[in-house]
Amino acid sequence: MRILVVEDETRMQALLRQALEEESYAVDSVENGRDVFDWVSVYDYDLILLDVMLPGMDGFAVCKTLRQQQIDTPVLMLTARYTVDNRVEGLDSGADDYLVKPFAVEELLARVRALTRRQLSHRSPDLAVGDLTLDTLNRRVTRDGAQIELSAKEYMLLETLLRHPNQTLSRDQIINHVWDADYDAQSKIIEVYIHNLRRKLGDDDNSLIQTVRGLGYRVNGDKRD
């Protein structure tokens, strides 16, 4: 999942990035409220962490404008403003949740999980192809009943592929969901992770994760046990 952090205070931005990246989220960050619209026009975010006090355009105005533009990405608003009126203003502007600074990182992450679960609530928590199952609630991968240990990025890559069975995903689409904007598009990192996934999943003949030459990769959704 990919999250946009909108925070102009350097130390807070770094704290948020570290906490989210340690939980396997791909994270982009901006410091100016007006920059948000450039980023959401390019990337499909699963969540926006939005500070209220921002240069260029404050968080209330940013959130209200996002909703006017029919952008329904969940927004978790962060602010030191703690009065009831401030919280009401944030929620009325279109925010999905409101967290007052200072806050515990554990609470932030719990709210992030709650909002992203709500975003995916219309989807099945289990993704399956043949004897391969990915439990998105518990972040657990099994094949033929045996649990498979994956790194954070391997898990994110597999989940992205399984959410689009039989659909070829380009490198750009995979990068958009799994890596942040600092990723070097010229590197071979995707190929390395695909290779590692195949090895761990026992996909020796590449029949599960297929390479579509010149286009990208796809999961064979017709594969049987």
Residue-wise pLDDT tens digits, 175-215: 877 876 666 666 788 899 999 999 999 988 888 999 998 88
Give the domain-ending residue among 119, 148, 177: 119
For residue 225, being part of any structural domain is answered with no
* CATH number of domain containing 183: 1.10.10.10
Between CA 169 and CA 218 the distance in angstroms is 6
Residue 14 — very low, low, confident or very high, per pLDDT cuts 50/70/90?
A: very high
List the domain range (segments joined by +) for residue 44: 2-119
Nearest CA to 15 among 106, 82, 119? 106
Q: What is the DSSP letter of 120?
A: T
Residue 31 — very low, low, confident or very high, per pLDDT cuts 50/70/90?
A: very high
Q: Is the Cα torsion angle 106, 110, 116, 117 positive or negative in sign?
A: positive
In this prediction the pTM is 0.66
Mean of the pLDDT values across residues 32-53?
A: 90
| Shared-domain flag, residues 90 and 8 | yes
Between CA 34 and CA 158 the distance in angstroms is 34
- Helix pair 152-162, 171-178: axis angle to 10 deg: 130
Residue 110 — very low, low, confident or very high, per pLDDT cuts 50/70/90?
A: very high
Between CA 120 and CA 125 the distance in angstroms is 8
